[in-house]
Chains A and B, each alone.
Chain A
Amino acid sequence: MEHSTSVMTSNPVTRRSLLRMAGGALLAAPMSMLTGGVVAGSAGNPGSAKAFVRTQTIEPGGTLNVAIGTDITSLEPQLTTETSSGGVRTNLYDQLVWHFTPDGSIIPWLATEWEVSSDGLTYTFTLTDKPVKFHDGTDFNADAVKATFDRLLQPERSGAAKLTLDMIQSVEVLDPRTVKFTLSKVFAPFLRRIADNPGAIMSPASIQQYGEDYGQHPVGTGPFRFVEYVTGDHVSFERNPDYWNGTPNFDRIEYRIVPEDAARTTLLETGEAQVVDRVTPQLADALKANPDVRIQETVTSRIVYFVLNQNRDLMKDVRVRQAVNHAVDRETIISSILRGYAVLADSPISKTVEFYAPQTPYAFDPERARTLLQEAGIAQGTEVVIWTPQGRYVGDRDFATAVQDMLKDIGLNASLQAFGDFPAYIQQLDSLEFDMAVWGWANSNDADSALNQTFSSDFVKVFPNWGSYSNPRVDELLDTAATELDSNRRAELYTEAQKILVEDAAGLFLHWQVNLTGVSPKVEGVFVHISETLVVRDAGFIA
């Protein structure tokens, strides 16, 4: 017998809660955007939650042209998790719950309420009573949910998408509007996972018809329908007039793939595009003078840090790890190399992620660093091997070079090696022949994913805990938190874990990456989700 301990129903979404939701994350938006707004959609009706709050009058219609820097891999949701395709797919699909909101909060969506069993192993979702249809004309219902996840969990399926949801054991249809998920292990961030792209609901009829070629004929319940994908060039969508959750604004959305940074921002300047993603800090500064361009800054969940390798003697001593933390002037790195487009990390978890708890960062204090090295018995001129990828994270090689110099200032003889090819870099890290290595981690936007693989003993010597930080207390905290369903208790556990990781100098935490998006001032409602996913489906042209 199952006993429901927690019943979460969707509260009627009020304008105030939505404003709160939006206010937290529209970092670059002028405050005027958040005042005098009108809530679109039928507020107060469960299941008709809107992910975005309007503050301007929108003129429906028009074509939104978006230029993205990375080729999309696939329009089928059960393959990759890279955010370029993920952002494009948000137009096509809906999930049971939704987290592509400006502040990343999870809201009811195709499911209006859900119940978690007391053992945390089953989730029972009640689906919306609104008539929802797939783009192929078939009905959305519990069978579609089951068909979607049955497809995902096929043993022969590989790919990153499946791995984010492999704790699902089975999916059962209780009635056309009720569906039950059974998990193989208690996993507290489960809702966050199904709210993400891999949880997109697919049409059973089209699964049947297209099989592995679903990506070429993508069908969802989303606000826009697939028109065409010209390989490597552009993807087009048109409005889904029958959308269940309010009428979408744009007639069409066109994504063009433009890999060259300068060419991409030029499209914004010529008016050929209204939205461009991944603007570089240099180009962003140049564009600031242009009144026809607005640069939106979003702090993402990506933490950029140095893995400190305790498999080699030098970093085994906590005093040495603290010394290198004191030796690095993060503020200067952020202001000069990253031109201010990064936020100093005072925790291994980004401040945009749930259960983030601010810690006291190591002050820039070379004197203190030298003392600590002396205490640890480290001779002047001791060699430190630093590795960095090149072109993977914003300014990676440049800030690694700066760190190399800063370490020389405290008497360490630091050498730097840069790797232009990322897959080779990952493999190189497995050799563990470094003392410090640049790494960036942005996974699934929950505290468990943020900390577990990077710092738990389960991953000592392997990806991505190459540094082999291992602390039984941290292990215990992370294990307990991952299976603890009470939010307050989880917050306490993660707070303590963050505190220990900073005190132990488990890594040299530099900054959280800021994502820069160029947007025409004629468009409102474009935002970048903390997962670095560009979301345009709720946007519109200002009247």
Chain B
Amino acid sequence: MASYVVQRLLMLVPVLIGVSLAVFMMLHLSPGDPARMVAGMAATPKQVEDVRLILGLDEPLYKQYLRYIGRLVQGDAGRSLSTNKPVISELWPRYVATLELTLAAMALAVSVGLTLGIISAIRQYSVIDNVLSLLALIGLSIPAFWLGLMLILVFSLKLSWLPTAGRGGFSHLILPAVTLGTFAMASVARMTRGSMLDVLGQEYMQTARAKGLHARVVLLRHGLRNALIPVLTVVGLQTGQLLGGAVLTETVFAWSGIGRFMVQAIQARDFPVVQGGVLLTAVTFVLVNLLVDLLYSVVDPRIKVS
């Protein structure tokens, strides 16, 4: 197991080289001049050229890339072109904010989604199943920014129960977590329902019931546990995606997360920040996938990691 983890972690190296090269090329080949953005709208073309020299943006691309990688392996991701702060100190607090929001959203999605999915499965084709399926469909199709604004309208403006925007205590977390978690919640519910229905028809379920086990034990230990694998896959994928940033939710609720920040950085052509942010997201993806793979073997011991 340990060697498997190490092996997977080593895989990060080629992934990061590939990703950094791709991002670097994309940034430099797409239109928009970082020197102009740094120099500002009032700068003359001559002044823009001076800025380009100071920033080293006039050098051949391969030199710029090697210099970037050379510093990166020493733990220096450079400084932001627009704020002049170290990229890491710009990214990290926002990453933590996104992590906080994602974990809250996924906790909500998993707890509620699993419960609703199980209820739907054991009451297949009942009224409650139909209602829940409809709700899941709405949850999957509702746009996050619209849902967010509606929640603000109701819970902040009309009822004054919850704060409108920004980070703070637990109360600040509720609306954005619900907004962000709704899609995942609906996917988890649907996936759980489908997967449970498969399992419920299996012969081992009949055996368990025939053994005289308590219905709850049958459902949770024999049923849910076997139904979890596809659900786990969905949760893993969703978590990875959300950690890359949930731009719309972050924007509506003024949540200072990494998604919104990356969009800003792209708009400002803040190359070091974009590169750093994409790398951080890539690492996150790899780690979340690794975690999911390890969890498979916990849920289903027949799956061995090697």
B43 in contact (CB, < 8 A)? yes
In the complex, which residues of chain B have a beta carbon less than 8 angstroms from the beta carbon of A213? 85
A254 nearest in chain B by CB position: B166
Known: A160-B42, A258-B166. A426 touches B256 (CB 8 A): no
| Bitwise interface map of B from 82 to 103 toward A, beta carbon under 8 Å scored 1, else 0 | 1111000110011001000000
A270 touches B256 (CB 8 A): no
A163 touches B39 (CB 8 A): yes
B256 touches A423 (CB 8 A): no
B50 nearest in chain A by CB position: A158
CA distance A463 to B37 in the complex (A): 13
Known: A73-B82, A158-B51, A266-B157. A233 touches B167 (CB 8 A): yes
**Measured between C-beta atoms, what is the minimum distance from B246 to chain A in Å?**
13
In the complex, which residues of chain A have a beta carbon less than 8 angstroms from the beta carbon of B38? 158-160
In the complex, which residues of chain A have a beta carbon less than 8 angstroms from the beta carbon of B48? 463
| Bitwise interface map of B from 155 to 167 toward A, beta carbon under 8 Å scored 1, else 0 | 0110010011111
A164 touches B42 (CB 8 A): yes
Q: Which A residues between 127 and 186 are near B, CB-CB below 8 angstroms?
A: 156-160, 163-164, 166
A231 touches B93 (CB 8 A): yes
B40 in contact (CB, < 8 A)? yes
B165 touches A232 (CB 8 A): no
Known: A231-B94, A260-B254. A424 touches B31 (CB 8 A): yes
Q: Which B residues between 32 and 58 are near A, CB-CB below 8 angstroms?
A: 32-34, 36-45, 47-48, 50-51, 54-55
**Measured between C-beta atoms, what is the minimum distance from B139 to chain A in Å?**
22
| Bitwise interface map of A from 204 to 217 toward B, beta carbon under 8 Å scored 1, else 0 | 00000000110110
The residue from B47, B251, B264 contacting A260, defined by CB atoms under 8 A apart: B251
B32 touches A424 (CB 8 A): yes
B84 touches A259 (CB 8 A): no
Listed stretches A74-82, A305-313, A317-325, A522-530; interface member? A74-82
CA distance A462 to B45 in the complex (A): 7
Known: A233-B166, A267-B165. A257 touches B254 (CB 8 A): yes
**Measured between C-beta atoms, what is the minimum distance from A64 to chain B in Å?**
16
A1 in contact (CB, < 8 A)? no
Known: A212-B84, A259-B254, A266-B157. A272 touches B164 (CB 8 A): yes
In the complex, which residues of chain A have a beta carbon less than 8 angstroms from the beta carbon of B167? 230, 233
Known: A160-B42, A453-B44, A462-B45. A73 touches B260 (CB 8 A): no
CA distance A230 to B11 in the complex (A): 34
Known: A158-B51, A232-B261. A423 touches B156 (CB 8 A): no
Known: A71-B264, A266-B152. A423 touches B40 (CB 8 A): no
A262 in contact (CB, < 8 A)? yes
A270 touches B164 (CB 8 A): yes
Known: A79-B84, A263-B252, A270-B156. A421 touches B32 (CB 8 A): yes
In the complex, which residues of chain B have a beta carbon less than 8 angstroms from the beta carbon of A81? 40, 42
CA distance A428 to B33 in the complex (A): 11
B253 in contact (CB, < 8 A)? yes
CA distance A462 to B48 in the complex (A): 12
A269 in contact (CB, < 8 A)? yes
B3 in contact (CB, < 8 A)? no
A458 nearest in chain B by CB position: B44
A488 in contact (CB, < 8 A)? no
A444 in contact (CB, < 8 A)? yes
B306 in contact (CB, < 8 A)? no
**Measured between C-beta atoms, what is the minimum distance from B248 to chain A in Å?**
9
Q: For chain A, give the interface size range.
A: 35 or more
B37 nearest in chain A by CB position: A423
Q: Which A residues between 430 and 484 are near B, CB-CB below 8 angstroms?
A: 441, 443-444, 449, 453, 459, 462-464
In the complex, which residues of chain B have a beta carbon less than 8 angstroms from the beta carbon of A74? 82-85
Q: Which A residues between 259 and 278 are near B, CB-CB below 8 angstroms?
A: 259-260, 262-264, 266-267, 269-270, 272
**Measured between C-beta atoms, what is the minimum distance from B264 to chain A in Å?**
6
In the complex, which residues of chain A have a beta carbon less than 8 angstroms from the beta carbon of B156? 266, 270
A426 touches B42 (CB 8 A): no
B149 in contact (CB, < 8 A)? yes
A215 touches B84 (CB 8 A): yes
CA distance A535 to B4 in the complex (A): 58
The residue from B34, B43, B89 contacting A163, defined by CB atoms under 8 A apart: B43
A159 nearest in chain B by CB position: B38
B111 in contact (CB, < 8 A)? no
In the complex, which residues of chain B have a beta carbon less than 8 angstroms from the beta carbon of A424? 30-32
B297 in contact (CB, < 8 A)? no
B39 touches A266 (CB 8 A): no
A50 in contact (CB, < 8 A)? no
The residue from A215, A270, A272, A462 contacting B85, defined by CB atoms under 8 A apart: A215
In the complex, which residues of chain B have a beta carbon less than 8 angstroms from the beta carbon of A360? none
Extra A-B contacts (14), CB below 8 Å, given A74-B82, A267-B165, A449-B42: A71-B261, A74-B83, A160-B43, A216-B85, A230-B167, A231-B93, A256-B254, A260-B251, A266-B157, A426-B36, A427-B32, A453-B42, A462-B45, A463-B44
**Which A residues are within 8 Å of any B CB, using their own CB?**
67, 71, 73-74, 76, 79-82, 156-160, 163-164, 166, 212-213, 215-216, 230-234, 256-260, 262-264, 266-267, 269-270, 272, 421-424, 426-428, 441, 443-444, 449, 453, 459, 462-464
